[in-house]
Amino acid sequence: MAATATKLEPRGRLSAADWEEAALATLAESGLGTVAVESLARRLGVTKGSFYWHFATREALIKAALERWEKSDEEIVVAQLDAIADPRERLRELFRRVSREMPSHVIYAALMQSLDHPLVRPVMARVSQRRLDVLSLAYRQAGLGRNEAGHRARLAYSAYTGFLQLSLQLGLQRLGHEDFEAYVDHVIATLVPA
């Protein structure tokens, strides 16, 4: 009957990867601040003793989890997107992707709330720069000038990260599936050149 169903994920012995996954899961649920070793241990059905065999320190775990996430994010968000030739359609698809594959965005949003923390900031700086570059390139290919494209990319990316913050962290009117579609359409109409 435990309301907070602390789902213990793996059953047998644990590997470093298990801890990293658990860390990312907890991160997505309640932020980096709650990623504590004793808490994770309970979640996994073991104790600290286990953790410190796999990792030297809590920071080491965070570092590993971040690398794991950054890698998967790199593939998901960026890679399978270059396929779309038409830049305008690529932009539209990019905006739509925010709804699908939410899990990765949830972690993104959680990490953006921990931009203090020396390990997180550089990761998010790289991730953000990559996304900005993708956007900027698409806008250039869509016909905008160098400066225009840069500004529009920054605007679009700001809207993206801001929207996630308002929705997931602030919890501002959760915006049902219906209205969300309408909103995305409006964003596309406003930010994607005809």
Q: Are 67 and 81 in contact (CB under 8 A)?
A: no
Cα–Cα distance, 18 to 32 (Å, whole number): 17
Does the protein bind DNA through residue 38 (CB under 7 A)? yes
Three-state SS letters, 20-40:
HHHHHHHHHHHCHHHCCHHHH
Q: How far is the CB of 118 from its own copies (least distance, A)?
A: 12
> Is there binding between residue 118 and DNA (CB under 7 A)?
no
Residues forming contacts to its own copies in the complex (CB under 8 A) are 30-31, 33, 112-113, 115-116, 121, 124-125, 128-129, 132, 147-148, 151-152, 154-155, 157-163, 165-166, 169-172, 182-183, 186-187, 190-191
Q: Which of 8, 17, 36, 172 binds DNA (CB under 7 A)?
A: 36
45, two tokens: 């059905």
47 DSSP 8-state letter:
-
Distance CA 140, CA 148 (A): 8
Q: Which does 59 bind (CB under 5 to 8 A by kind): its own copies, DNA, none?
A: DNA
> Which residues of this protein are in contact with DNA, per CB under 7 A?
12-15, 36-39, 41, 45-50, 52-54, 56-59
